């Protein structure tokens, strides 16, 4: 053994001699021999940084924390064909960690450049059997002595697919042409396609997805008659259909955005209190333009400015310290390097008018004053382009956009009323007045990106692309000494034109400032009218915020960052852009690249130090750049809670046959549904139907109906993956052309849509577009549309009155139109079942504390949720009593409570009581009030258990168990407790995590309770000074749930607001109990909680709340609101008349007088009604005295700071009165979201709070 160690030490010494200043593995007897061993060793090495992908499961980054290159001398290396020995050593050592097993056959060298005196940067393209992989790229930074500075990129791992196309190039080209004609309005004769090329497309390299890699034909499609089109089209080469397509040029405002702008300009319809002069609505911020870039690794990228609308009010950003402006030389590029910067005039024409870019020559940089004020757009374009060239030349030594002296052309006055700008791969183009310095710098930076990292303009890589242009655009803006650069506006994009983004405060314009921000956009699963290539304009805010923090410094998200200034930060980002990122890089990649870039240039000309790199790291952590955004692309439904199993009434995983199914295509009489081998959620088979490239109505249903039990909760669950045709239409709006629905029928009744039964997982995510003359049989219906990004799951609750005790059948139905196809729909693991406990009944309540939960009542006890570990923490003492209750509404038939706990108490006098209450129970049994009763298990840290029964008369009985040898105040240990009540019999057991019994108790109750309304936690200190701390996890209640008043408002009905879940059932029930609502349907009984509250509904609620259930509205004729149609809400005209007569409304418009019955109430309007409901009163003469809130402070909300705006004081008062909670946070303050709507469930909440109604 000693001899072996000696040899290993000699090896380490030799490695150190051969490769000086390199990291070598510290343990000489543990040199890794497999990729997994190497990865474990790298993870354990605190001087090495390793980044990994959630999508591929492989490494995406390896680097050094301090810049010392890693050794690549652990094995004899195989020379890289066409490469160099230094790279071969690094690739052989580390490429398998990235999913590249044979670097010689799976990588091709694309470029190599000398990054500095010791470092070489090489870029590699992944190939599979000679076919390139889209976004499969690796960058390698190696030292001259063979060390590895950094390796990053992504590869599609473990590829195994047929590379022989079944769809030939001609057929693929026909499908691509059909897409251009049907979706983009191009004549077939005008369509120009690039030569077809086979590529491999693995979606997970560009976006979150679990879809398999596929062989595709790749095209770039343009039109000779429409130069606003440059469409990337991927056609599946095995079965046809469009795998991916998006227009890489946006030449006009998005239609959906224009509509949003128009609505914003109109302002909200406001409820006017009759005793108050109402100020005009606050102006919506001027929305000008953002930009959309579209770039691919092999084709010419195009970048377009497109405005993004937002309802977020404009607020002046917090001023930050400014850096001394750099003195840029006035030297002209032409005089330095022979680079010509020229400006042309398009004279308000486009290619459609017969004009050709670049247009008519105006001037170039040999005449720097250009038109001397005659044409300010031309003057600005030239001046700011020179500034941009000089910034890149002086800061980065870059000679023009391509670093090879490329001449720069800019065209102004493009089209009429074109508030836009774009980079088309060869030049920049600007509409009138759209030439401020940061926008010019922004567009030209897209050219730099094109020639360096070449980031795809899609999803997160596109957001980074967009952010890079914002960053350099602002750096040019802040250092050229021109325009307005005061601290208040210097981080606004386009402030000299009309700001549309803030880099210091991205949420100001609806952009995220961190990965977990609620502003993060999920692209095609989000706004269906504005696809935005996966949220590139919005999600750029994350890196924008990081760049601001690095440059100016600030405190954000718990981190205090010291600013480095523009010179250092620009150098860091330039290193990232030129030497690290690949075309498909995402934010996780950028997280590692930025720190590595800082380390790479440590000690260089920019003056960057390792301490600076620590500040960079804090900025990256502050914006959570390596975290996943909240929400998910691939939601999964829970089958059953922990400790329960499904009891199947129907199940099919398609592994044997499709005998349980009826399969048909209604349109053709045949079927395209069938079992397929390959991509499945479980096993090897799934049921599949393609998205047909023609009109079709394709259906799959059960061969036999399934009987649903009359009791218990029954679910339908299935795994599925889908891809349905979507993309731009002739009007420029992205449409969902095809889609699918789930339908059901009861017994032999009519088929109906199943969306009302949706419970969890993936719900319908859009609507099938319904154009005039369209042929899709599902046109206009809400449906599963677009792309699921892989297998997801959906669960539907069949426990409605109409279904229980009946036979039910389900039908999966695809509707397609006459145009191009897509992937289609895959189904797997279809089941109908009930969740069963091993002991008692069905699961009626579960809380693993993985998400926030709002309890029904509480005292001052300290109870918090540990989100990281999904636990409920509690601490309590005599001074801080504990009392938390959760509504459960269960019958005693029988009922079982299970939970895990840890507890520590200072003496034996303290007990934590967890149990089932008939009413809300007081803090201690000794002071229990009358009519309060419950059954509880008592636990302490000495493993002592007790049984407690509280009686309605306030008395109680108690049964004590014995204590064990555990010490009070000792180490907390997990225990599992069970309480079962069956009629008069009860039993308690406590076990450890190994299942060993710690103690048991049992007995009988003197009287039987028929129901339990609450699950309650409370603390009893026995009258002493003891205190307890501990944790609870996995609370489960099994039994039979009581029937709720409304089918669509179960006892556990919750809605989420601002990331917090609110239990709203009791508020709806209180409304019903007080006669203020009868719901929206009596058979079945429905309340429609998610229906937005309109002014018609509000009239009924307000009058009943103010005058009681006996109030009768006026009878005809109704003479007040006669200037509008009541067709949609005829029932409400008499209520509006009564509201007016009661002086509770002045209408929505004075001349002509109108009520606007169909208008949805916004939060700012709804709280006016609620506050007047609370505070209005009648004086002694019967006159209504209308309430006016106190003046606004402007300090309550982060999004309502304008004290002059009419609604601010109403919102502040309503929030402070508890009438309506906040919708989130901004800048450490609550948000009010005044323009958000209020649904009927929240209307119930507001009325109950305003009228102080008792909850059930």
**C-alpha to C-alpha distance for 855 and 694, rounded to whole angstroms:** 53
Q: What is the DSSP string of 1096-1144?
A: HHHHHHHHHHHH-TT--PPPSPP-SS-SS--GGGGGGHHHHHHHHHTTS
Q: What is the DSSP string of 455-492?
A: --SSHHHHHHHHHHHHHHHHHHHHHS--S---TTTTTE
Q: Are residues 127 and 14 in the same domain?
A: yes
What is the β-pairing status of strands 696-702 and 661-665? antiparallel
Domain membership of residue 639 (yes or no) is no
* Catalytic residue flag (residue 537): yes
Q: Specify the pLDDT at position 353.
A: 82
CB atoms within 10 A of CB 753: 15
Say how many Å lie between the first and final Cα of the chain, rounded: 76
Q: Specify the pLDDT at position 991.
A: 80
CATH number of domain containing 386:
1.10.390.10
| Dihedral-angle region of residue 15 (phi above 0 means left; psi in -120 to 50 means alpha; beta otherwise) | alpha
- Of 611, 727, 837, 577, the residue nearest 179 (C-alpha): 727
- Of 1115, 1123, 1138, 1200, the residue nearest 1163 (C-alpha): 1200
With contact defined as beta carbons under 8 Å apart, do 1168 and 1187 qualify? no
**C-alpha to C-alpha distance for 988 and 686, rounded to whole angstroms:** 46
Distances (CA, A) of 799 to 1, 592, 758, 1048, 1052: 69, 49, 11, 11, 14
Which residues are 1011's β-sheet partners? 891
- Sign of the torsion formed by the C-alpha atoms of 1157, 1162, 1163 and 1165: negative
What is the β-pairing status of strands 714-723 and 792-797? antiparallel
Domain membership of residue 163 (yes or no) is no
Token pair for residue 532? 């935005």
| HSE (side-chain half, CA atoms, 13 Å) at 198 | 17
Residue 155 sits at φ, ψ, to 5 deg, of: -135, 155
Number of domains present in the structure of the chain? 6
With contact defined as beta carbons under 8 Å apart, do 825 and 740 qualify? yes
Q: Are residues 1246 and 1127 in the same domain?
A: yes
What is the β-pairing status of strands 956-960 and 945-950? antiparallel
Q: Are residues 469 and 609 in the same domain?
A: yes
Which of 446, 537, 579, 883 is catalytic? The answer is 537
Residue 255 sits at φ, ψ, to 5 deg, of: -60, -45
Domain membership of residue 1146 (yes or no) is yes
Q: Are residues 930 and 986 in the same domain?
A: yes
Q: Are residues 467 and 396 in the same domain?
A: yes
Burial of 112 (0-12, 13-18, 19+ CB in 10 A): middle
What is the β-pairing status of strands 428-430 and 408-412? parallel
Residue found by looking up tokens 């930050």 in the block: 320
- CA 309 from chain centre, in angstroms, equals 18
With contact defined as beta carbons under 8 Å apart, do 720 and 795 qualify? no
CB atoms within 10 A of CB 935: 22
**Domain end marker among 806, 837, 868:** 837
Distant-in-sequence contacts of 1198-1201, Cβ < 8 A, 24+ apart: 1198/1225, 1198/1226, 1198/1227, 1198/1228, 1198/1229, 1198/1230, 1198/1231, 1199/312, 1199/313, 1199/315, 1199/1226, 1199/1231, 1199/1232, 1199/1233, 1199/1234, 1200/313, 1200/1232, 1200/1234, 1201/315
**C-alpha to C-alpha distance for 340 and 856, rounded to whole angstroms:** 71
Domain membership of residue 1028 (yes or no) is yes
Q: Specify the pLDDT at position 833.
A: 92
- Contacts of residue 1083, Cβ cutoff 8 Å, sequence gap at least 6: none
Q: Specify the pLDDT at position 892.
A: 62
CB atoms within 10 A of CB 14: 11
**C-alpha to C-alpha distance for 616 and 636, rounded to whole angstroms:** 36
**C-alpha to C-alpha distance for 518 and 1200, rounded to whole angstroms:** 18
| HSE (side-chain half, CA atoms, 13 Å) at 628 | 11
Q: Which domain holds residue 25?
A: 2-154
Question: Percent of the chain at pLDDT above 70?
Answer: 78
**Domain end marker among 221, 247, 273:** 247
**C-alpha to C-alpha distance for 805 and 807, rounded to whole angstroms:** 7
- Of 1090, 894, 1071, the residue nearest 980 (C-alpha): 894
Q: Are residues 361 and 240 in the same domain?
A: no
Distant-in-sequence contacts of 1179-1188, Cβ < 8 A, 24+ apart: 1184/1142, 1184/1143, 1184/1144, 1185/275, 1186/273, 1186/274, 1186/275, 1186/276, 1186/1143, 1187/273, 1188/273, 1188/275, 1188/276
Token pair for residue 378? 């031309």
Q: Are residues 541 and 467 in the same domain?
A: yes
Token pair for residue 231? 């469409």
Q: Specify the pLDDT at position 946.
A: 76
Domain membership of residue 630 (yes or no) is no
Q: Are residues 674 and 774 in the same domain?
A: yes
**Domain end marker among 837, 854, 873:** 837
Domain membership of residue 274 (yes or no) is no
Q: Give the DSSP H/E element, type plus range, for residue 112.
A: strand 107-114
- For residue 71, give the DSSP letter: P
- Sign of the torsion formed by the C-alpha atoms of 616, 621, 626 and 632: negative
Q: What is the DSSP string of 262-319?
A: HHHHH-------TTSPPPPPPPPPPP----EEE--SSS--EEE-------PPP-PPPP
Q: Are residues 614 and 651 in the same domain?
A: no
Rg over alpha carbons for the chain, rounded to the nearest Å, is: 34
**Alpha-carbon dihedral angle through residues 1088, 1093, 1094, 1099, given to the nearest 10 degrees:** 100
Q: What is the DSSP string of 971-994?
A: ----EEEEEEEETTEEEEEEEETT
Q: Specify the pLDDT at position 456.
A: 87
Domain membership of residue 268 (yes or no) is no
According to DSSP H, which parts of 610-721 are helical?
Answer: 610-622
- For residue 203, give the DSSP letter: G
Q: Average pLDDT by consecutive 10-residue portion of the chain (1256 residues)?
A: 32 35 44 76 88 89 86 51 64 90 90 85 94 94 84 92 92 89 82 94 87 92 77 87 73 31 28 29 30 33 36 32 35 72 94 86 93 96 96 94 94 90 89 93 94 90 93 96 89 88 93 91 50 82 97 96 97 96 94 95 93 96 90 77 77 91 72 81 87 88 93 90 79 80 96 94 90 88 89 92 94 90 90 74 67 44 66 71 67 77 69 69 34 65 72 69 52 77 80 73 74 70 67 80 81 82 85 87 89 88 80 89 88 89 84 89 90 85 85 93 93 92 91 92 91 82
Which of 55, 271, 443, 1164 is catalytic? The answer is 443
Q: Are residues 711 and 849 in the same domain?
A: no
Distances (CA, A) of 208 to 202, 213, 723: 11, 13, 14
Q: Are residues 972 and 1076 in the same domain?
A: no
**C-alpha to C-alpha distance for 414 and 304, rounded to whole angstroms:** 13
Token pair for residue 759? 């419970």
CATH number of domain containing 1011:
2.60.120.200
CB atoms within 10 A of CB 531: 25
Distances (CA, A) of 181 to 185, 229, 728, 978, 1174: 5, 12, 11, 66, 60
- Contacts of residue 151, Cβ cutoff 8 Å, sequence gap at least 6: 61, 62, 63, 90, 94, 98, 138, 139, 140, 141
Q: Are residues 829 and 870 in the same domain?
A: no
Q: Specify the pLDDT at position 748.
A: 93
Domain membership of residue 684 (yes or no) is yes
* Catalytic residue flag (residue 291): no
According to DSSP H, which parts of 132-239 are helical?
Answer: 169-184
Token pair for residue 9? 């030490």
What is the pTM assigned to this prediction? 0.61
**C-alpha to C-alpha distance for 1186 and 1169, rounded to whole angstroms:** 11
SS3 397: coil
- Contacts of residue 1079, Cβ cutoff 8 Å, sequence gap at least 6: 1045, 1046, 1072, 1085, 1086, 1087, 1088
Burial of 1202 (0-12, 13-18, 19+ CB in 10 A): middle
Q: Specify the pLDDT at position 962.
A: 65
């Amino acid at each position: 053994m000693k001899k072996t160690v000696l040899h290993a030490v000699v090896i380490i010494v030799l490695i150190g001699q051969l490769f000086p200043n390199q990291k070598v593995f510290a343990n000489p007897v543990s040199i890794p021999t497999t990729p997994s061993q190497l990865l474990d060793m790298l993870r354990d090495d605190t001087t090495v940084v390793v980044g990994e992908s959630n999508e591929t499961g492989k490494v995406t980054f390896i680097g050094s924390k301090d810049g010392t290159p890693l050794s690549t001398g652990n094995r004899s290396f195989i020379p890289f064909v066409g490469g160099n020995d230094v790279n071969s050593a690094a690739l052989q050592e580390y490429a398998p960690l990235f999913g590249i097993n044979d670097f010689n056959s799976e990588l091709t060298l694309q470029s190599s450049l000398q990054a500095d005196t010791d470092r070489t940067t090489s870029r590699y393209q992944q190939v599979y059997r000679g076919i390139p992989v889209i976004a499969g790229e690796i960058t390698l930074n190696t030292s001259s002595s063979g060390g590895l500075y950094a390796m990053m990129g992504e590869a599609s791992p473990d590829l195994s697919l047929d590379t022989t196309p079944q769809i030939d190039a001609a057929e693929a080209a026909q499908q691509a042409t059909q897409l251009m004609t049907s979706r983009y309005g191009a004549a077939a004769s005008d369509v120009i396609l690039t030569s077809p090329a086979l590529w491999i497309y693995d979606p997970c390299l560009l976006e979150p997805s679990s879809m398999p890699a596929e062989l595709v034909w790749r095209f770039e499609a343009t039109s000779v008659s429409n130069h606003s089109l440059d469409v990337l089209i991927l056609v599946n080469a095995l079965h046809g259909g469009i795998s991916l397509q998006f227009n890489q040029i946006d030449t006009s405002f998005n239609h959906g955005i224009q509509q949003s702008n128009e609505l914003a300009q109109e302002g909200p319809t406001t409820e006017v209190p009759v005793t108050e002069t109402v100020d005009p609505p606050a102006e919506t911020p001027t929305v000008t333009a953002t930009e959309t870039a579209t770039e691919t690794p092999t084709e010419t990228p195009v970048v377009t400015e497109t405005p993004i609308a937002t309802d977020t009010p404009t607020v002046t950003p917090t001023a930050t310290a400014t850096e001394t402006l750099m003195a840029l030389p006035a030297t002209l590029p032409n005089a330095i390097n022979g680079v010509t910067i020229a400006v042309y005039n398009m004279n308000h024409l486009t290619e459609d008018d017969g004009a050709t870019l670049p247009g008519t020559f105006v001037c170039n940089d040999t005449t720097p004053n250009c038109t001397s004020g005659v044409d300010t757009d031309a003057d600005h374009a030239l001046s700011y382009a020179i500034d941009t060239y000089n910034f890149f030349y002086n800061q980065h030594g870059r000679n023009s956009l391509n670093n090879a002296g490329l001449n720069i052309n800019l065209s102004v006055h493009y089209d009429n009323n074109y508030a836009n700008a774009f980079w088309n791969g060869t030049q920049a183009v600007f509409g009138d007045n759209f030439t401020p310095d940061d926008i010019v710098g922004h567009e030209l930076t897209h050219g730099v990106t094109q020639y360096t990292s070449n980031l795809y303009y899609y999803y997160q890589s596109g957001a980074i692309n967009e952010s890079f242009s914002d960053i350099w655009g602002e750096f040019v803006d802040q250092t050229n000494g021109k325009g307005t650069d005061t601290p208040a506006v210097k981080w606004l994009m386009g402030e000299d034109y009309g700001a549309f983004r803030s880099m210091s405060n991205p949420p100001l314009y609806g952009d995220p400032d961190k990965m977990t921000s609620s502003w993060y956009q999920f692209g095609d699963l989000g706004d269906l009218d504005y696809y935005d290539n996966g949220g590139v304009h919005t999600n750029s805010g994350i890196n924008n915020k990081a760049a601001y923090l690095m440059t100016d410094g600030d405190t954000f998200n718990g981190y205090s960052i010291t600013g480095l200034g523009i010179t250092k930060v620009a150098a860091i980002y330039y290193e990232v852009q030129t030497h690290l990122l690949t075309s498909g890089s995402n934010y996780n990649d950028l997280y590692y690249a930025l720190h590595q870039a800082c380390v790479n240039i440590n000690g260089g000309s920019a003056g960057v130090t390792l301490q600076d790199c620590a500040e960079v790291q804090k900025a990256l952590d502050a914006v959570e750049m390596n975290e996943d955004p909240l929400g998910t692309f691939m939601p999964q439904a829970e089958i059953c809670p922990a400790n329960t199993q499904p009891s199947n009434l129907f199940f099919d995983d398609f592994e044997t046959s499709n005998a349980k199914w009826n399969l048909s295509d209604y349109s053709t009489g045949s079927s395209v549904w069938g079992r397929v081998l390959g991509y499945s959620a479980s096993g090897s088979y799934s049921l599949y139907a393609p998205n047909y490239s023609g009109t079709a109505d394709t259906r799959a249903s059960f061969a036999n109906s399934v009987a649903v039990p009359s009791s218990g909760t029954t679910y339908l669950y299935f795994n599925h993956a889908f891809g349905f045709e979507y993309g731009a239409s002739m009007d420029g709006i992205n449409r969902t052309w095809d889609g699918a629905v789930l339908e059901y029928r009861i017994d032999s009744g009519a088929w109906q849509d199943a969306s009302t039964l949706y419970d969890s997982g993936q719900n319908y995510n859009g609507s099938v577009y319904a154009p005039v003359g369209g042929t899709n049989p599902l046109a206009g219906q809400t449906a599963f549309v677009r792309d699921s990004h892989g297998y997801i799951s959906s669960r539907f609750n069949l426990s409605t009155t109409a279904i229980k005790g009946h036979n039910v059948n389900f039908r999966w139905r695809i509707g397609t139109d006459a145009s191009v196809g897509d992937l289609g729909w895959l189904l797997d693991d279809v089941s109908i079942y009930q969740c069963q406990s091993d002991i008692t009944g069905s699961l009626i309540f579960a809380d693993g504390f993985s998400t926030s939960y709002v309890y029904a009542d509480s005292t001052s006890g300290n109870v918090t949720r540990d989100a990281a570990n999904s636990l409920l923490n509690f601490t309590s003492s005599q001074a801080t009593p504990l009392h938390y209750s959760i509504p459960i509404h269960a019958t005693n038939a029988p009922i079982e409570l299970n939970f895990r706990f840890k507890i520590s108490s200072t003496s034996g006098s303290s007990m934590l009581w967890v149990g089932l209450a008939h009413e809300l129970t007081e803090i201690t049994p000794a002071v229990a009030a009358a009519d309060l009763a419950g059954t509880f298990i008592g636990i302490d840290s000495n493993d002592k258990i007790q049984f407690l029964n509280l009686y309605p008369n306030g008395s109680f009985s108690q049964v004590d168990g014995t204590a064990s040898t555990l010490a009070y105040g000792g180490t907390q240990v997990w225990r599992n407790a069970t309480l079962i009540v069956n009629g008069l019999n009860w039993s308690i057991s406590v076990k450890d995590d190994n299942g060993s019994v710690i103690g048991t108790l049992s007995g009988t109750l003197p009287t039987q309770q028929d129901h339990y309304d609450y699950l309650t936690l409370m603390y009893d200190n026995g009258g002493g000074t003891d205190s307890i701390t501990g944790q609870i996890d996995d609370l489960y209640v099994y039994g039979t749930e009581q029937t709720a008043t409304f089918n669509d408002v179960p006892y556990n009905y919750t809605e989420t607001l601002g990331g917090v879940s609110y239990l709203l059932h009791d508020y709806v029930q209180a409304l019903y109990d007080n006669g203020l609502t009868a719901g929206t349907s009596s058979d079945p009984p429905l309340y429609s909680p998610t229906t937005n509250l309109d002014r018609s509904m509000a009239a009924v609620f307000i009058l009943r709340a103010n005058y009681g259930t006996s109030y009768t509205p006026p009878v005809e004729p109704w003479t007040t609101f006669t200037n509008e149609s009541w067709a949609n809400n005829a029932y409400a005209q008499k209520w509006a008349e009564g509201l007016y007569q009661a002086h509770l409304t002045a209408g929505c418009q004075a001349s002509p007088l109108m009520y606007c019955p169909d208008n949805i109430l916004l939060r700012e309007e709804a709280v006016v009604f609620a506050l007047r409901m609370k505070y209005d009163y009648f004086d002694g003469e019967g006159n209504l005295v209308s309430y006016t809130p106190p003046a606004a402070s402007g300090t309550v909300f982060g999004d309502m700071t304008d004290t002059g705006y009419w609604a601010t004081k109403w919102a502040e008062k309503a929030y402070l009165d508890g009438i309506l909670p906040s919708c989130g946070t901004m800048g450490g303050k609550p948000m009010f979201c005044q323009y958000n709507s209020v649904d009927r469930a929240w209307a119930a909440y507001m009325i109950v709070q305003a009228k102080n109604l008792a909850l059930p």
